[in-house]
Structure 1
């Protein structure tokens, strides 16, 4: 029986010896494994296997725990396996009973895949629930049900050992690289993509590893990595570097921040008519962070672009928010740990977040709601005369750009066509007034 601490987990070498012996015996079926062809499937005692610490299902939780321990999780450490089992059990906890019932009644419908040393590449959740059944045999045993097969995990055993880099590749493929996938916490893919880039995978290779999410498009991976960089910076900003569980439920806010920053940097945001510099964009990012920590509703973040587009409104808003959040320092994560010694990193992070909301939430929301109303009012007040003023400003900028610009004939030809098009449109507007 695979009871943690009672000869489970075994060492990698011990597991490898057991699996080598099993492979000399009779297989029960075959399965096609990407990159390894058709492989035989065997019935493997649960205690001869171990969980994959790099499982994408719980990567945020694992990386958060590693931050506290100062080391990577190990498939040979009993304490680490206890934590991994908690992660897997808590994920989609409401579906555990149904899956257990299915395993008991119908058995394992799909074989797993394991390395020669018994690390599970595909089937970690099934393995966790099989262990749950076996450890609670009396709870699940019924006269009409034979639980004999529950003590085995049905899986293909690869012929060659995989490096940590290769394990991560196969892990992401089995979770995201085929159509038969489970819904995952969106934050996990950012962590996995970042880890794979650090291990030397190209953006195209990462895209292929996450095929169902990217369709093999490396541009999507480029966006993920840029968004993850903002997530990492946010965690540092709030004093919780490496606490990736603090990102839960905030993905869309970071996507909005990435797109907003990109549009202003490229000058394609539309209405901005003031001289934006790098410091202004830094402040925009930090104000996003202040409200992301507040866990502001995702749809509200679209107002940041509109507020930022008007210089006076933005600078007033930025000043008030900055002064507010700096008025009362929040205790550090280490100080919270000293006060909450029995809590996990995720729980401590939630306590800090609640304290932040209690300290600043009402005031920050008041500032935001005021500027939100102002932005809506500006849209209503955008009269024809005000639009003419904006157009005149743009034309003045156009004159300066042409004066200082290129003398290239082909570029001038394009400019002339564009100006003629504008003249035509203005003529049409004028006819409406005549």
Structure 2
């Protein structure tokens, strides 16, 4: 492993003369000013533990070896391409700024060369070096931490969050990246930090972080359900279906208890949600409309007395759908869409059942709304009568005889309509 500190001692890395104060307090470092170094690009590499990068490379772990360019440039080349594809305009602006004025904001790197902050700046410098043949350096603070040390991991993550989401600047995470970052940082026996610590450092609300965490859990369950790698989060990003998992997490958390029967019902409902997501994908519904579908399903079926009946009716269809999807490997969106086409009959059957239940639920809701509107109208006239026949602060002295006759005419019409409607409803009673 390359040690930047050893390289500095050997004279291969030099200080710029600048110092910077850490944006958060870390054990053994506090918030002391730290030296900024000029580091040759070949000794650095993208941090595979970073939230955004780990999401992007999740499906390529067997192919990629996170190392610097002196060992093998393939890893850095791969990640650099992803960063450029993610926001080419932003990278172009950064590259132009560095070319004209130099690197204005220093980054943070670990002793082994992993970049904790400054991925876009490093990518721009790397591109400039390749394009011009000139030697460029990445200016950064070298942190005396390593991911190999369990106690260092939480410190590294704390600094990363403070930079990207906390006190120094706020960068908007892609929601999938954020969900995965929360999940990976706080899950398992060797978790970098607790969810409460993450919330504190990232300046998030606990409820929000919990919902992102649950969304990540159900993304992984969905990916396993369709036969994909449970870490292949790019499938979620490419198809813009994050919001259904966010909504699903809220619903399954709020509407089911911890007892055994509730957990069985919760698992069955999760599969029904998966069926709806796949149906929407097949018919081209994503983004905000997909989120609306999830909310409608939650409101009209999950929260209704018909949930068990619905789950029972679609269970075989959803199981057959999963079997069809798992017949061939699903590594990307093309694979998924191909398998969805193969499962067209199952998806159509699910859609027909879903539409029937939703239509019945909404019709029932319309009846209730209709009855409530009549009830509200009756109350209005009751209040009018209790107030002497006038609304609010009106007084009879303010109303002319002509206007009183108009009111009588309307009341006569209303009386007649009420009698007609009363008889119509009576005739329909079975």
TM above 0.5, yes or no, is: yes
Contact preservation (8 Å) 2:15, 2:35: no
Quote how far apart the aligned CAs of 1:359 are. 2.8
Residue matched to 1:188:
177
Q: Of the candidates 339, 351, 373, which is equivalent to residue 335 of structure 2?
A: 351
Residue matched to 1:132:
127
Partner of 2:343: helix, strand, or coil? helix
Q: Cα gap change, 1:385/1:300 in structure 2, threshold over 3 Å: closer, same or farther?
A: closer
> Larger radius of gyration, structure 1 or 2?
2
Residue by residue over 1:51-101, the C-alpha shift from the partner in whole angstroms, topping out at 9 and shown as x without a partner, is 2111222221222222x55x9745565443333223222221343222222
Residue matched to 1:414:
none
Partner of 1:100: helix, strand, or coil? helix
Residue matched to 2:271:
286
How well do the aligned residues superpose, as a CA RMSD in angstroms?
3.6
Residue matched to 1:303:
296
Alignment of 1:176-215 (within 5 A): 176-197=165-186, 198=188, 199-200=190-191, 201-211=193-203, 214=204
Quote how far apart the aligned CAs of 1:26 are. 4.6
Alignment of 1:162-311 (within 5 A): 163=149, 165=153, 166-197=155-186, 198=188, 199-200=190-191, 201-211=193-203, 214=204, 217-240=205-228, 241-248=230-237, 249-265=240-256, 277-294=262-279, 295=281, 296=285, 297-305=290-298, 306-311=300-305
Between the aligned partners of 2:42 and 2:104, the Cα distance in structure 1 is 21
Q: Cα gap change, 1:281/1:323 in structure 2, threshold over 3 Å: closer, same or farther?
A: same
Q: Cα gap change, 1:384/1:136 in structure 2, threshold over 3 Å: closer, same or farther?
A: closer
Contact preservation (8 Å) 2:164, 2:170: yes
Alignment of 1:5-154 (within 5 A): 11-13=1-3, 15-22=4-11, 25-33=14-22, 34=24, 35=26, 36=29, 37-66=32-61, 68=62, 73-74=66-67, 78-137=73-132, 151-154=136-139
Contact preservation (8 Å) 1:54, 1:168: no
Quote how far apart the aligned CAs of 1:168 are. 3.6
* 2:363 is equivalent to residue 377 of structure 1: yes
Quote how far apart the aligned CAs of 1:133 are. 1.4
Q: Cα gap change, 1:331/1:259 in structure 2, threshold over 3 Å: closer, same or farther?
A: closer
Quote how far apart the aligned CAs of 1:356 are. 1.4
Contact preservation (8 Å) 2:38, 2:140: yes
Quote how far apart the aligned CAs of 1:225 are. 2.7
Quote how far apart the aligned CAs of 1:12 are. 1.7
Quote how far apart the aligned CAs of 1:243 are. 1.6
Between the aligned partners of 1:232 and 1:223, the Cα distance in structure 2 is 14
Between the aligned partners of 1:123 and 1:153, the Cα distance in structure 2 is 9
Alignment of 1:376-395 (within 5 A): 376-382=362-368
Contact preservation (8 Å) 2:226, 2:325: no
Q: Cα gap change, 1:29/1:210 in structure 2, threshold over 3 Å: closer, same or farther?
A: same
Q: Cα gap change, 1:207/1:153 in structure 2, threshold over 3 Å: closer, same or farther?
A: same
Between the aligned partners of 1:190 and 1:325, the Cα distance in structure 2 is 26
Q: Cα gap change, 1:219/1:80 in structure 2, threshold over 3 Å: closer, same or farther?
A: same
Contact preservation (8 Å) 1:227, 1:255: yes
Between the aligned partners of 2:201 and 2:277, the Cα distance in structure 1 is 30
Quote how far apart the aligned CAs of 1:120 are. 1.5
Between the aligned partners of 1:266 and 1:331, the Cα distance in structure 2 is 31
Between the aligned partners of 1:184 and 1:87, the Cα distance in structure 2 is 15
Between the aligned partners of 1:74 and 1:85, the Cα distance in structure 2 is 13
Contact preservation (8 Å) 2:15, 2:36: no
Between the aligned partners of 2:249 and 2:145, the Cα distance in structure 1 is 41
More displaced, 52-61 or 224-233?
224-233
Q: How many residues align?
A: 350
Which structure 1 segments of 5+ residues have no match?
1-10, 139-147, 268-275, 338-344, 388-427
Partner of 1:167: helix, strand, or coil? helix
* 2:318 is equivalent to residue 318 of structure 1: no
* 2:354 is equivalent to residue 368 of structure 1: yes
Quick one: higher RCO (CA 8 Å, sep 6+), 1 or 2?
A: 1
Residue matched to 2:422:
none
Between the aligned partners of 1:173 and 1:261, the Cα distance in structure 2 is 31
Contact preservation (8 Å) 1:122, 1:174: yes
Which structure 2 segments of 5+ residues have no match?
374-378, 387-430
Residue by residue over 1:113-147, the C-alpha shift from the partner in whole angstroms, topping out at 9 and shown as x without a partner, is 12233222111221112111111127xxxxxxxxx
Between the aligned partners of 1:330 and 1:93, the Cα distance in structure 2 is 38
Q: TM-score if structure 2 supplies the norm length?
A: 0.70
Between the aligned partners of 1:20 and 1:50, the Cα distance in structure 2 is 20
Between the aligned partners of 1:49 and 1:371, the Cα distance in structure 2 is 57
